[in-house]
Amino acid sequence: MARSAGSRDPARAEGLRSLPSVEELSERLPEVPKPLAVRAAREAIEAARETLLAGRKAPTDLEEAARAAAGRALRPSLRRVLNATGVIVHTNLGRAPLAAQAAEAAAEAGGSYSNLEYDLESGRRGSRQTHVEALVRELTGAEAALAVNNCAAAVLLAAAALAAGRELVVSRGQLIEIGGSFRVPEVVAQSGARLVEVGTTNRTRLADYERALGPETAAVLRVHQSNFRTLGFTEEVAIEELCGLGVPVIDDVGSGALAERLRAFGPTGLGTGDSGPWAGEPPVRRSVSAGSALVCFSGDKLLGGPQAGVMAGAAEAVERCRSHPLARAVRVDAMSLAALEVTLRLYLDPAAALRELPVLRMLTAGERELGSRAERMRELIPGARVVRAAGKAGGGALPLLELEGPACAVDPAPLALDELARRLRRGDPPVVGRAREGWLLLDPRTLTDEEADEAARAVAAARLG
């Protein structure tokens, strides 16, 4: 009979025999809930066994190893992360960080009862939409508005309410795929509308739309190419021309660019409005004033609020969406609504919006601010240096925009870059940067001053062990 690897090495065999049972080790963790203590004990024992079988010395304090495993299991899976990537609306890292006031409003709405659907004046049932509708109307010029849980839901509801069972005309160049492999044709198909494609991928003219209109046409759909751009030999129809066709227009403008209101308030030399960092994103107000039946946009991304979808437009079209059965399935929750209300209120004061909304602050951050933060990280990390790098808007917005500025470059030695990145991801809080030519880049654009210090200290500690 073959002998085991452990039996050929007396010390290894003795180490394996000395490992406690799962039940015995879990009993040493009386402060940990029993099922979790058992799982943590099993994890610690399995790790020790693998270490011994690999010819290495097993940990001497299995109880401490099990307690650490239990601590990791008790820690929430959804956690705060330091985003040092330079990607502002980072889809994988939670998209847009909220303004402090918006986060506080969401916490208050989630931690207590609220007047979500209660009219405090009359003492009767109210509508959750009243908390944001007037703000959206004021900021966009729309007759009416409706908030749902995301922009894809807004487009789905718009198509279902205005075009179910009939034709929805769209340019072939706008049949895009958004994040998570969600494709516009597939989203619209769930509405019951029949897509009628016109034009080509790079050129669509007004005449193409005109030829497609008929008795079965319910609406025209325009979709912004949020996460890419078609360059060169291209042509598309302006929203004003589409609205002149005589049929309702559903305009999905994507990222929620309300920043044209901030034109006079940007940092010197940077520019805002049409010449600012968000130039290229279709302004919501323009689509509304052109006469779109419904304009759909995100509450997060460039708007800088919570994940939500906003629909603004003609009163009759919004009412059809409001009364559609699908509206219940895609309605916005209380915490998101609270954060969205505060975010929209900030836009009433352009200077406050630029100052308080993290997304706008990051987009418009100046060289001096970024340089000071990068230099501070360099001072805290031995061997680091300040280099030039380019950040991105992210979230499918402004794909061609390069936000150049200073960044802190870290030589991972004595570690490999992958190992340093792994240690940083496992830290508390985790730190996520980006790699460039064997170095780890920490981009100050997506960090506050306090977060930059945290990230730098985490990197210094990770390199030491």
| Positions of E strands within 232-354 | 249-254, 294-298, 309-313
**Residue range 410-438: average pLDDT?**
94
pLDDT at res. 401: 80
Q: Would you identify the CATH topology of the domain 82-91+361-464? A: Aspartate Aminotransferase, domain 1 (3.90.1150)
Q: Write down the pLDDT at residue 164.
A: 96
Residue limits of CATH 3.90.1150.180 in the chain: 82-91+361-464
What are the tens digits of pLDDT across the range 357-407?
999 999 999 999 999 999 999 999 999 999 999 999 887 777 778 899 999
- What's the confidence (pLDDT) of residue 73? 84
Complete DSSP assignment for 96-143: SPPPHHHHHHHHHHHHS---TTEETTTTEE--GGGGTHHHHHHHH--S
Task: State yes or no: pLDDT of 268 exceeds 70.
Answer: no
CATH 3.40.640.10 location in the chain = 100-356
More confidently predicted of 432 and 50: 432
| Lookup: tokens for 349 | 């004061």
Distances (CA, A) of 16 to 25, 52, 55, 407: 15, 7, 11, 49
Lowest-confidence segment of 101-105, 327-331, 373-377, 400-404 by average pLDDT: 400-404
Question: Looking at this protein, which amino acid is placed at residue 177?
Answer: E
> pLDDT at position 397, please?
76
pLDDT at 336: 97
Q: Is the whole model's pTM more than 0.75, yes or no?
A: yes
Q: What is the pLDDT of residue 310?
A: 97
The mean pLDDT value of the chain amounts to: 89
Domain at 100-356: CATH code? 3.40.640.10
Whether pLDDT at 430 is above 90: yes
pLDDT digits (tens, 9 = 90+) for 28-47: 889 889 998 899 999 999 98
Return the axis-axis angle of helices 34-53 and 10-18, rounded to nearest 10°: 180
> What pLDDT was estimated at residue 439?
95
Q: What is the pLDDT of residue 276?
A: 56
Q: Which residues pair with 74 in a beta bridge?
A: none
Tell me how far apart the alpha carbons of residues 74 and 160 are, in angstroms, rounded to a whole number.
43
Q: How would residue 259 be classed by pLDDT, with cut points 50, 70 and 90?
A: low
